[in-house]
Structure 1
Amino acid sequence: MASDIVKHFETLKTQLKDGKTVKYYNHAKLYEAECIFREPATQQQIDDFKKRTNWNLPKQYEELLLYTNGVVLFRDEYGAGFEISGLDEIELDHFDPMPSNWIPVVACVSIGDYIFFDSDQVESGSNYLIWHNHEQYYDEPTLRFTIDFATWLERLIITRGAWFWEWKN
């Protein structure tokens, strides 16, 4: 049975024109954005990465890596969008003064914000997903999500890359 991550990506792929372009409306204007999938990682690459970095990865992210070792989602004509890092990018994107247990997994391109996994919280299965606003120092997360990574990804896909976590109820 396919995981939620695979189902979300397979659904998105059915909506792509030419295998990479999706159209959506925002503020009554039609936009096009690009989604680019990569070759999958192997389980051995994931295991080696976890051993080398001593980071805990959510199972849902491992499922993503086995489907696509990184993906660009909803990159617009100006280059803005989301880049979910593959194994190689994670280590490159982690720099001081980021806390050592924060794993930068999603770059909000052209803004400078990141979505992180808190490696220390992953095993608990809750509150491990963090958003960090680039205007803040790295002492505290801007937001600690109460949803898991698969739910976050599903909502990102449904909203076509909208920052749903900033919406007011």
Structure 2
Amino acid sequence: MIKFEGINMSDCLVNETLTALKKRLVNQEIEVQGERGFLYKVEFEFNPPASDSKIREFEKNNNITLPVDYKQFLLMHNGAVLFEPWFGGGFELHSLWRIIDSKLEGMPEEWFPIGYQDGGQLFIDTSVANENYLIWLDSSILEDAKYLNMNFEAWLDRFVVAQGAKFWEWE
């Protein structure tokens, strides 16, 4: 059992979501129904886990504390590509090194990009003290940033249930 600073992975929604998803995959693929009834196959790529020492080093070097649920993901997979159709456009969840590499100039220091899809980025706002720390930015204009009012484990669970659709943009 993986543990990090008291994190028990068996009690983790991130673990439950990814374990159930992986059980459905055949050769890292699954067929999904997208919006407007479009059926297509998508692929998944899961990186090896980050070690607890690498996560601590990342936090120390960047003077931040990552949210516990996001650390749970990193302990399972230090990055992943989810719902990648053959024509591109899957959601990339960044590895620790890619987070720093993906930081945009002019973004607030406390925003850390953890994912990317179709030009939009998913950020963790490390200055937020509650569980609603995720931000979606579909451009490079700060005023377009949208707080998603959820944490990473809720986002991941809903993203899988929505079969890779940007559910946060639904009306």
TM-score (norm 1): 0.90
The one-letter code matched in structure 2 to 1:62 is K
Aligned with residue 122 of structure 2, among 115, 124, 138: 115
Verify: 1:137 aligned to 2:137, yes or no: no
Q: 2:132 maps to what in 1? A: 127
CA RMSD in angstroms comes to 1.2
Query: How far apart, CA to CA, are the structure 1 residues paired with 2:165 and 2:114?
Result: 17
Work out the number of aligned pairs and report it.
Answer: 161
Aligned with residue 158 of structure 2, among 155, 160, 164: 155
Q: Compared with structure 1, are the counterparts of its residues 113 and 39 closer, same or farther at alpha carbon in structure 2 (3 Å cutoff)?
A: same
Query: How far apart, CA to CA, are the structure 2 residues paired with 1:17 and 1:104?
Result: 30
Q: Is the CA contact (8 Å cut-off) linking 1:130 and 1:141 kept in structure 2?
A: no
Task: Return structure 1 stretches of 4+ with deviation > 3 angstroms.
Answer: none
Q: Compared with structure 1, are the counterparts of its residues 141 and 50 closer, same or farther at alpha carbon in structure 2 (3 Å cutoff)?
A: farther
Query: How far apart, CA to CA, are the structure 2 residues paired with 1:115 and 1:46?
Result: 19
Q: 1:65 maps to what in 2? A: 74
What is the Cα deviation at residue 79 of structure 1? Answer: 1.2
1:45-97 deviation per Cα after TM superposition (whole angstroms, max 9, x unaligned): 00000000112211011000000100100011111010111111100000202
Aligned residues with identical type, % of pairs: 32
**What runs of 5+ residues in structure 1 fail to find an aligned partner?**
none
Verify: 1:106 aligned to 2:104, yes or no: no
TM-score (norm 2): 0.89
**What runs of 5+ residues in structure 2 fail to find an aligned partner?**
1-9
What is the Cα deviation at residue 4 of structure 1? Answer: 0.6
